[in-house]
Chain A
Amino acid sequence: MQPSPEFSPPRPRPGSGLMVWIGVAPFFIFAALFMLLPSFSLLVGSFRDTQGHFTLDNIRSLFTPSILSAYSISIRISLTTALGGGLFGFLLAYAVTLGGLPRWARDALLTFSGVASNFAGVPLAFAFVATLGRLGMVTVLLKTLGVDIYEIGFNLYSFWGLSLTYMYFQFPLMVLIIAPALEGLKREWREAAENLGASTWDYWRMVALPILTPSILGAIILLFGNAFGAYATALSLTGGLINLITILIGAQIMGDVLYNPGLGYALSFGMIVIMAINMAIYYVLRRRSERWLRR
């Protein structure tokens, strides 16, 4: 049924023999089989009906309220945690690199960030249930102090609860990405600015921030993608009850609960499109920031 896509490695330049290409053949065959072919089949599938004819119905069916709302919640959670995690991560990285703290604070923070950015999925969800669930430590502690956060409207298994949980791996990632950029700010630039009569504020506004902007935006884009593709954490925390795009795709794989096999393809296709736009922006920004931060 599925036509196998044509995958041809780039043509050898004149002068280089065919033998040269054999060295990289395993890698390209692997990439073709396990990366390109699956993505390609999703792409083809989203424009096909059950008989194999071309159709736009699958794509059109994305524009129903419940699916649009899943995309919207996924995007909003990713934006919230990317901006929140980005801001807090930046402040933390700033505090330990330029904020006058001793060297061990920086090393400790970077180590903790390395661990926390890798701590995600099932165990992270359990940890937050034990912290902010109905019987969680912080929930109970606040209750004895007279504040019932669930009365006020907080719910761990909702938008803000999930965002708070994602933050656990989002802000450490920001620290890891942005700390080297902050350390890359040369002292000479600051001294030069001060010699020319700039205040601290002038220096940040006209020198440091313009240099850091591509790195900061690039990092925030990475954080966005990081949250947008997250599935395990959300599933374990909410048991699949939150309407995220990844949860919808998971349900679709489980057994076509939406009674439309083409829809699963279209959902995935939509995700890839958003991630691709995201990465394209990242790529452009990274090239710009590399001009300044060459070590």
Chain B
Amino acid sequence: MDQNQRAPLRQRLVSWFILFLGGLYFFVPLIATIDFSLRARKGVLSALAYQRVLSDPRFASAFTFSLEMALLTVVVGVILVVPTAYWIRLRLPQLRPVVEFITLMPFVVPAIVLVFGLIRVFSRPPLLLTNSFTGTQILLVAGYVVLVLPYLYRAVDTGLQAIDIRTLTEAAQSLGAGWWVIITQIIFPNLRSAILSGAFLTITIVMGELTMASFLVGLRAFGPYMSQVGQNRAYEGAALAVISFALTWAFTMLFQFVGRRALGGDQAFGAR
């Protein structure tokens, strides 16, 4: 970076000032939330709000539920995306624009609209799913898969680009491997970091997701649970926000760490 030396002092000062403003925007709400979450006991700083949140059995159950949904989303998403992306690259490149269009659909159909459509389609025969808890969970996972599809597909497709799938496939075939063996023992292991980075991003997006969860499974999920706690008890709400931020931070860091190695730094954004 020999630009450092060339940039005039005035320009560097302006740059520092802009960065300072950005830092302010980033950190002040965090500090305020942490501060607020520690004031549950009047007059002193205490971890009371955190104790109350963590001892609430509904916290554990909502948290586990959303984590399960996130992991299921990862599994279903990977099973759908990896063979498809592989097959499109290997045998059906003419389908690429169609698949790309489909994976961009979540940008055109926002989560609130998608969940509305899902409820309308799957609340009457022949595709009745909303009448049972298992059915709504299936819908929720399907909705989440749609939501993360753009990122997952791109991560996997970029990962495939980096390995020579044609040669690998031909080598495996000449040694007598069938398609099952090729996909599970050749393609999957080679895509490990792409899949892992997609998984971390999926967990980040799904864990606190409110829109789909609130209409399909309600308070069982972590997002709606947080929302309800915050409405009734402000300090506990702030504590949950801090916990949620720590999670987002941890999984985004993991995503960036793995992603940088796998994809040279891919980026994405999640559910609002």
Contacts and interface: CB of A to CB of B under 8 A. Distances in A.
B189 interface: no
Interface in B95-118: 95, 98-99, 102, 104-105, 107-118
A59 interface: no
A169 B272 contact: yes
Interface residues of B, number: 96
A101 B17 CA distance: 11
B223 A122 contact: yes
Interface stretch (A29-37, A65-73, A144-152, A203-211): A29-37
B269 A236 contact: no
B88 interface: yes
A39 B117 contact: yes
A284 interface: no
Contacts of A100: 3-4, 6-8, 11-12, 15
Main secondary structure of the interface of A (DSSP, over half): helix
Contacts of B210: 121-122, 231-232, 235-236
Contact of A34 (B29, B143, B240): B143
A116 interface: yes
A167 B25 contact: yes
A229 interface: yes
B226 interface: yes
B267 A176 contact: yes
B102 A35 contact: yes
B14 A95 contact: yes
Given A24-B92, A118-B270, A231-B112, A41 B80 contact: no
B243 to A, nearest CB: 8
Nearest to A234: B272
Contact of A98 (B3, B143, B201, B265): B3
A120 B226 CA distance: 13
Interface residues of A, number: 95
B1 interface: yes
B217 interface: no
A236 B26 CA distance: 20
A10 B215 contact: no
Interface string A1-28: 1100000001001001000110110110
Interface in B175-201: 201
B80 A103 contact: no
Contacts of B261: none
7 contacts: A16-B92, A42-B113, A120-B271, A127-B32, A131-B32, A138-B32, A250-B211
Interface of B: 1, 3-4, 6-8, 11-12, 14-16, 18-19, 21-23, 25-26, 28-33, 35-37, 79-81, 83-84, 87-88, 91-92, 94-95, 98-99, 102, 104-105, 107-121, 124, 127, 142-143, 145-146, 201, 204-205, 208-211, 215, 223, 226-227, 230-231, 234, 237-238, 240-241, 244-245, 248-249, 252-253, 255-256, 265, 267, 269-272
Shortest beta-carbon contacts, A-B, top 3: A100-B7, A38-B117, A229-B110
Given A121-B272, A122-B241, A275-B107, 8 more contacts: A1-B124, A38-B109, A100-B15, A122-B244, A127-B33, A130-B241, A176-B267, A176-B269
